[in-house]
Amino acid sequence: MNEYVVEVKGLKKSFLLPSGEMQEILKGIDFSLKMGATCSIVGASGAGKTTFLHILGLLDRPTEGEILYYGKNVDFLTQDEKAIFRNKNIGFVFQMHYLLPEFTALENAIMPLLIAGMDIKEAKERAIELFEIVGLKDRLTHKPGQLSGGEQQRVSLIRAFITNPKIILADEPTGNLDKKNAKIITELFLKLNMKYNTSIVLVTHNDELASMMQFKYKIDDGVMIAL
């Protein structure tokens, strides 16, 4: 298998403005991440960090360039094939936890496995192991509204890791948290990375948290720079 979980070559992305002009957000990015490696991406608001992450996650398409997973170009997959690929290979963590309020923490966590067709008993067993790791074993039956902000984000972390994805894409996952909980979440990313050898791409405004990753990049004026 290719040693890189993901490679990006000559990535460009433009958007059509209401004026009819094209605005180029990403101006030719080359990027690669090895299996099990962690990296952070920093940059000013509007620099294109989220756009880049959405393209990596196959939620958006580049205007130009290639995205390769395990050395294979995935741009030719149909929308349905991309959805299946994402479910098996990519985990997402966002600034908002997006937990469903009517379901318990455990039910929220196992949803990706049930969508993939896993038996509910096996799904719960896998989830409980992760709840233990992140320190929420006593919150299984709590609904999101009964959890603190930090606990809610830990449940979203479990949901992202539960399918044992090859890569986690995190967009400002600590943006709504205080300093203490932000550090807890980042340390859990690293703990889970070590346990499962999951590659991580973390977009953040927090330089301290960004520096906890193995590699650090900055997107500035549509170009990616290694820091």
Please tell me what DSSP assigns to residue 119. -
Instruction: Give the pLDDT band (50/70/90) at residue 12.
Output: very high
CA 37 from centroid of its chain's CA atoms = 13
pLDDT tens-digit map of 43-62:
998 899 999 999 999 999 99
Distance in angstroms between the alpha carbons of the first and the last residue of the chain = 28
Place of tokens 């830990």: 154
pLDDT of residue 119: 94
Q: Is the pLDDT of residue 80 over 70?
A: yes
Q: Which two tokens stand for residue 151?
A: 């606990």
Domain residues for 70? 4-226
pLDDT of residue 25: 94
1 vs 55, higher pLDDT: 55
pLDDT of residue 1: 58
Task: Tell me the average pLDDT across 106-112.
Answer: 96
Question: Could you give the C-alpha distances from 12 to 55, 103, 224, in angstroms and in order?
Answer: 10, 40, 11
- Taking each continuous run of H as one helix and of E as one strand, the counts in the chain are 7, 10
Neighbour count for residue 162 (Cβ, 10 Å): 21
SS3 45: coil
225 DSSP β-pair partners? 218
Q: Which two tokens stand for residue 173?
A: 């996952």
Burial class for 200, CB neighbours closer than 10 Å (0-12, 13-18, 19+): buried
Instruction: Give the pLDDT band (50/70/90) at residue 76.
Output: confident
Q: Which two tokens stand for residue 30?
A: 């080359």
223 DSSP β-pair partners? 220
208 vs 119, higher pLDDT: 119
Of the candidates 162, 93, 92, 156, which has an alpha carbon nearest to the alpha carbon of residue 127? Answer: 162
Rounded Cα distance, 208 and 202, in Å: 12
Number of domains within the chain: 1
Rounded Cα distance, 33 and 56, in Å: 11
Instruction: Give the pLDDT band (50/70/90) at residue 75.
Output: confident
Q: What's the pTM value of the predicted model, to 2 decimals?
A: 0.92
Q: What CATH number does the domain containing 142 carry?
A: 3.40.50.300
pLDDT tens-digit map of 137-161:
999 999 999 999 999 999 999 999 9
Rounded Cα distance, 120 and 100, in Å: 18
Q: Is the pLDDT of residue 2 over 80?
A: no
